[in-house]
Amino acid sequence: GENVEQHPSTLSVQEGDSAVIKCTYSDSASNYFPWYKQELGKGPQLIIDIRSNVGEKKDQRIAVTLNKTAKHFSLHITETQPEDSAVYFCAARDNAGGTSYGKLTFGQGTILTVHP
Amino acid sequence: DSGVTQTPKHLITATGQRVTLRCSPRSGDLSVYWYQQSLDQGLQFLIHYYNGEERAKGNILERFSAQQFPDLHSELNLSSLELGDSALYFCASNGQGIGELFFGEGSRLTVL
């Protein structure tokens, strides 16, 4: 099955700096890569996603890049703010899931802390 | 608010006991997914139900079972509980096709 590795496990930045989180996946057939943000006491919430036919996607201060050849994808957050502090998870859709489109393999998570 | 409702939010029980976690998906969503979040294993897919039928299984223990009812709410049953079952259990739902998975706020299970 799919295996997703995420780095770093913790990331500390100053407000206004950029933050980058990287993930690699193992199954070359994977075709959907979402990023989720989890705040304390809450469930994960989708912040951005990318499909395998796209190399880059941007939404305001957040961008995701995908390198299918190398089987890795990255989350970039620019102009970080204290409210960006949370745990971030990358994921890959398990292509063996058939029509279980929500069957995702998650990375281990990155604790992002943005210092004012 | 994701629209996915989970109860109870917290549950403390003893080893060997059985508990039931409940989930109501977003209005209109036919799929319910269950995930387990633990410190050492991260977020792990357990099982998927679509309109009352089981569609996919992950590494779900035999002591765990789930079902989805005609009104589309789902229950996850955990029996013969062990200390290692202590975790956050999330329910999620989505619409048709590949896209956003909407998570509830989770049920935190503590087994003593």
Interchain contact, A103 vs B104, CB within 8 Å: no
A96, pLDDT greater than 80: no
pLDDT at A97: 64
Three-class SS state of A34 = strand
The 10 Å Cβ neighbour count of residue B92 is 27
> Average pLDDT of A56-81?
96
pLDDT at A90 over 90: yes
What integer pLDDT is reported at residue B89 of this predicted model? 98
The pLDDT-based confidence of A111 (bands split at 50, 70, 90) is very high
Element (H, E) at A10: strand A10-14
Which pLDDT band, with edges at 50, 70 and 90, does A52 fall under? confident
The answer to whether B48 contacts A103, with C-beta atoms less than 8 Å apart, is yes
Mean pLDDT of chain A: 94
pLDDT at B42: 83
CA distances from B61 to A45, A91, B13, B22 (A): 26, 22, 18, 18
| All residues at 6 or more sequence positions from B9 whose CB lies less than 8 Å from its CB, including other chains | B105, B106, B107, B108
| Chain B contact set for A52 (CB, 8 A) | none
**Distance from C-alpha of A54 to C-alpha of A111, rounded to nearest angstrom:** 27
Residue of higher predicted confidence among A51 and B22? B22
Helix count and strand count (H, E) for chain B? 0, 11
Quote the pLDDT of residue A83: 97
pLDDT of residue A70: 94
Alpha helices in chain A (DSSP H): none
Q: How far is A82 from chain B (nearest CA, A)?
A: 21
Q: Distance between CA B89 and CA A76 in Å, rounded? A: 29
Can you give the pLDDT at residue B43?
93
pLDDT score, position A102: 85
pLDDT at A26: 95
Give the C-alpha distances (Å, rounded to integers) separating B76 from A15, B32, B44, B68, B72: 41, 11, 15, 9, 13
Q: How many angstroms separate the CA of residue A11 from the nearest CA in chain B?
A: 18
Per-residue pLDDT tens over the stretch B2-44: 899 999 999 999 999 999 999 999 999 999 999 999 987 789 9
Question: A22: pLDDT confidence band, cut at 50, 70 and 90?
Answer: very high
Q: Does A95 touch chain B (CB under 8 A)?
A: no
Q: What is the pLDDT of residues B58-102, one digit of tens each?
A: 989 999 999 999 999 999 999 999 999 999 999 999 987 777 899
Which residues, other chains included, contact B8 with Cβ-Cβ below 8 Å and sequence gap of 6+? B21, B22, B107
Q: How many contacts does A have with B, using Cβ atoms within 8 A?
A: 70
